[in-house]
Homo-oligomer: A and B are copies of this chain.
Amino acid sequence: MIIQTTCTPASLFSGERFAVTYRIYGTEKEARAKAESICIEQTVEFPAECVGQGTIRDHVFGRIESFERRDVESFRAVIIYAVEIAAGELTQLLNVIFGNTSIKPGIRVERLDLSPSILSQYKGPRFGRAGLRELLRIPKRPLLCTAIKPMGLSCDELADMAYRFALGGMDMIKDDHGLTDQSCSPFAERIARCSEAVRKANRETGGRTVFVANVTAPAAKIAERARIAKGAGAGGIMIAPGLTGFDIMRELAEDDSLALPILTHPALQGSFVTGPGGIAHGVIFGQLARLAGADATIFPNFGGRFSFSREECREIVAGTAEPMGHLRTIFPAPGGGMSLSRVPEMMETYGKDLIFLIGGGLFQHGPDLVENCRHFRKMAENME
């Protein structure tokens, strides 16, 4: 049975296409067959032989733009898709990029080349690197970020910690990503107390430290927590799109009544990058984070307690800064088991345009938390 449309005019399709680069494992024959199957799987999801000539075949099918050997075990296929099938929706864009194909082993999304009309549908990061530097009045040096923790401390205790971090000169003090609305430190009280503590320290130091509230929450509560954070004087928000979905981050970023910098956290996104399939580090933590409006992307630094390589971290940095139309460049924020001794090596890899995210390491450096922060700050200032 042959299916074709006699009603959908070809004029609904502009001819503009965006490109997804896939790394496909296997022999050349296997990889080529997989590339051909992606063109169908990600679009019509229908037996190709049952689709007649015409608009669907010409415009809805994905098309292999190039196919070449990548290395001894894999091939690189660039597949292009009509912009119209993404429907102007981030969820559907993700679905076209990798929805069903995520279920097929040995295929990895390596790179996105989004076309002008797709990019025009996204405002992207509100601040980005330049905007965040301006907001914090830090023209050149790396930014310093730390987290209040461990979970189990009361709001009083966390606020005291935030105060000391701010006194020591940290630029951004964020909730640990596991702090949501637990009864030991309920969201609204915690954010109010910590924001106030940071303001108090700022009055004493003349600094501009901001408190960043974790708004990762059930779907119906995310925007509400962001508003509470804004009302309490928080200077930024953090969200983990692996837990909430990417699109709500885009919505927060585009909300003019909120207008707060956004940090994206990688919780639950690890499964995308740890296998040979999945989505490359530079795409999920770089390009997609940026498309969805993050101003800074948190990821595990190489050589910490996670397993990312220096090369993978460099790929993320590339994703935060490569040309993506009008989308602002964003800060890489490597962290995860970092100690102050790693700072020089990190500078070498990342340059000055980064946010140093150090949590537990600040407690291990010496007996006085404020002094440890000051030491950390001095290291960063020496890099200007």
Contacts and interface: CB of A to CB of B under 8 A. Distances in A.
Contacts of A336: 100
Contacts of A3: 150, 153, 363
Query: Could you say which of A3, A43, A88, A103 has the most chain B C-beta atoms within 10 Å of its C-beta?
Result: A103
Interface stretch (A128-136, A178-186, A256-264, A374-382): A178-186
14 contacts: A1-B363, A5-B184, A12-B184, A45-B176, A46-B150, A46-B360, A95-B267, A95-B268, A99-B240, A99-B268, A103-B308, A104-B306, A105-B307, A274-B275
A3 B154 CA distance: 12
Given A271-B102, A271-B272, A47 B89 contact: no
Interface stretch (A71-79, A242-250, A346-354): A242-250
Interface in A280-337: 300, 305-308, 336
Given A44-B149, A44-B151, 11 more contacts: A1-B364, A55-B152, A89-B180, A91-B244, A95-B216, A95-B268, A102-B269, A219-B245, A220-B251, A271-B278, A275-B276
A364 B359 CA distance: 58
Given A153-B8, A181-B87, A300-B103, A95 B363 contact: no
Contact of A47 (B96, B245, B363): B363
Copies in the complex: 2
Contact of A248 (B46, B245, B268, B359): B245
A176 B217 CA distance: 29
Interface in A92-128: 92, 94-96, 98-105
B96 A178 contact: yes
A250 B218 CA distance: 9
B60 A152 contact: yes
Contacts of A7: 153-154, 156-157
Interface of A: 1, 3, 5-8, 12, 37, 41-47, 50-51, 55-56, 59-60, 84-85, 87-92, 94-96, 98-105, 149-154, 156-157, 176-178, 180-184, 216-221, 240-245, 247-248, 250-251, 266-279, 300, 305-308, 336, 359-360, 363-364, 366-369
